[in-house]
Amino acid sequence: MTIVTEAMMKQYQSLMEQMDEPLKITFKNVHQGYPTAALERFLKAREGDVSKAHTMLVDCLNWRIQNKIDDILAKPIVPTEFYRTVRDSHLVGMSGYSKEGLPVIAIGVGLSTYDKASVHYYVQSHIQMNEYRDRVILPSATKKFGRHISTCVKVLDMTGLKLSALNQIKLLSVISNIDDLNYPEKTDTYYIVNAPYVFSACWKVVRPLLQERTRKKVQVLSGCGVDELLKIMDYASLPHFCKREGSGSSRHSRGGTTDNCFSLDHAFHQQLYNYIKQQAVVMEAPIKQGSFHVDFPEPDLEDEKITETLESAFRGFGDRNGVSKSLHNLKINGD
């Protein structure tokens, strides 16, 4: 575990003072009034190496400027029905807050198909949710709970995970790499639920490849994980796939409102989508069809090794079960 010292922080802050003004401006959207905490996140991501942490942050800020990330919350994906297909094929949402005030982000890993749009739309949507979390949700939680809240917990539903997930690995690697390089240390704990054998087998080969700080954040829970999750959050904040009346990434409706936090009809996605449309009006940004293209960072050696290991593991499962898997389908739609 990296311990950030006062000497580290003084050296880091001295380097930050030398940055150009455009970098300092976009840094405000990163730190949201808590610059020291933001610097600590990048330091932890680089194991306390000030020089590497500074380089990482400068690269992140340049990426934000070059890709106009500060404006991405004013770029709605339209029309609405097309955006609904994106939501139906990339299952992610927010179900509530932990008892400590951390947003609970739910992700339907096993049933996400990523097959209704090009990779650019999925990346745009993912970054918009990151930015909405950092600029709206976390500041609101900080105010509500009376202390600085800068991280979330994630509950990953592995229901439906199959060998066909091999086709998603490269897209998932792109999204993961964007998070690692530009949104480091934003997740407090990853809870894995509804894990089938194929996940358990992959986890055994991937776990040793992860950095220690990442491994410590991952908890694989039994079944839908409801008993363990209720220790850190109230029942109302449980993702729908963890509730006793039915696990799995399915739809639930109560009193005319959907309990499925993946759905565009859920309150979280309605608020997010309306916010983006309102920001477009405020910034007088033209609303037009077409994705908001963002440059993808090159995967680092660690990510490439993990991807190759996963591909090898999936191929092994396929061979064992008499399933012939072709890697020709690994090209990302839209690239």
Examine the domain organization and report whether 12 and 108 are in the same domain.
no
Return the half-sphere exposure (C-beta side, CA atoms, 13 A cut-off) of residue 301. Answer: 0
Instruction: State the DSSP code for 98.
Output: B
217 or 289, which is more confident = 217
> What would the two tokens of residue 92 be?
């992610």
- Using CA atoms, how far residue 8 sits from 20, 30, 36, 60, 215, in Å, is 21, 20, 11, 20, 25
Name the token pair of 91. Answer: 């299952």
Predicted confidence (pLDDT) at residue 35 exceeds the cutoff of 90: yes
Residue 87 domain flag? yes
- Phi/psi for 309 (5° steps) reads -65, -40
| Total residue length of the chain | 335
Residues 186 and 60 in one domain: no
Cα Rg, the chain, nearest whole Å: 20
Q: Report strand pairing: 187-193 vs 152-157.
A: parallel
- Do residues 95 and 201 both lie within one domain? yes
Specify the amino acid at residue 19: M
Residues 123, 176, single domain; the answer is yes
Domain span at 139: 78-244+259-283
Average pLDDT on 39-47 reads 95
Using the Cα atoms of residue 32, residue 42, residue 56 and residue 191 in order, give the sign of their dihedral.
negative
> What are the Cα distances from residue 74, in Å, to 43, 71, 84, 277, 283?
30, 6, 18, 6, 7
Q: Which of 82-96, 273-287, 316-330 has the highest mean pLDDT?
A: 82-96
State the pLDDT at residue 332. 35
In whole numbers, what is the pLDDT of the chain averaged over residues? 86
Residue 1 belongs to some domain of the structure: no
pLDDT of 65 > 90? The answer is yes
89 CB contacts (<8 Å, ≥6 apart)?
A: 112, 113, 114, 115, 116, 117
Q: With contact defined as beta carbons under 8 Å apart, do 38 and 31 qualify?
A: yes
Residues 226 and 146 in one domain: yes
- Can you tell me whether residue 332 is helix, strand or coil? coil
Q: Per-residue DSSP letters for 183-247?
A: STT-EEEEEEES--HHHHHHHHHHGGGS-HHHHTTEEE-STT-HHHHTTTB-GGGS-GGGSTT--
Backbone φ and ψ of 161, nearest 5°: -65, 125
Residue 299 pLDDT class (50, 70, 90 cuts): low
CATH classification of the domain holding 149: 3.40.525.10
Task: Say if strands 257-258 and 253-254 run parallel, antiparallel, or are unpaired.
Answer: antiparallel
> How many structural domains does the chain have?
2
Q: What is the pLDDT of residue 257?
A: 54
- CB 70, CB 215: distance < 8 Å: no
Query: Do residue 129 and residue 277 come from a single domain?
Result: yes
pLDDT at 130 over 80: yes
Query: Which has more confidence, 274 or 256?
Result: 274
Looking at the fold, whether 52 and 84 belong to one and the same domain comes out as no
Res 303: pLDDT: 63
Over residues 90-108, the pLDDT tens digits come to: 999 999 999 999 999 999 9
Instruction: Report yes or no on 294 lying in a domain.
Output: no
Say if 28 falls within a structural domain.
yes
153-172 residue pLDDT tens:
999 999 998 766 666 777 88
From CA 288, how far away is CA 78, in angstroms rounded? 7
Given a cut of 60, whether residue 85 has pLDDT beyond it is yes
Pick the range with the lowest mean pLDDT from 41-55, 204-218, 246-260, 261-275: 246-260
What is the residue whose two structure tokens read 């066909």? 164
What pLDDT is recorded for position 320? 52
Residue 317 lies in a domain: no
Confidence at residue 315, expressed as pLDDT on a 0 to 100 scale: 64
Adjacent-strand bridge partners of 152: 187
Residue 289 inside a domain? The answer is no
106 with 192, same domain?
A: yes
Give residue 258's Cα distance to chain centre.
Answer: 22
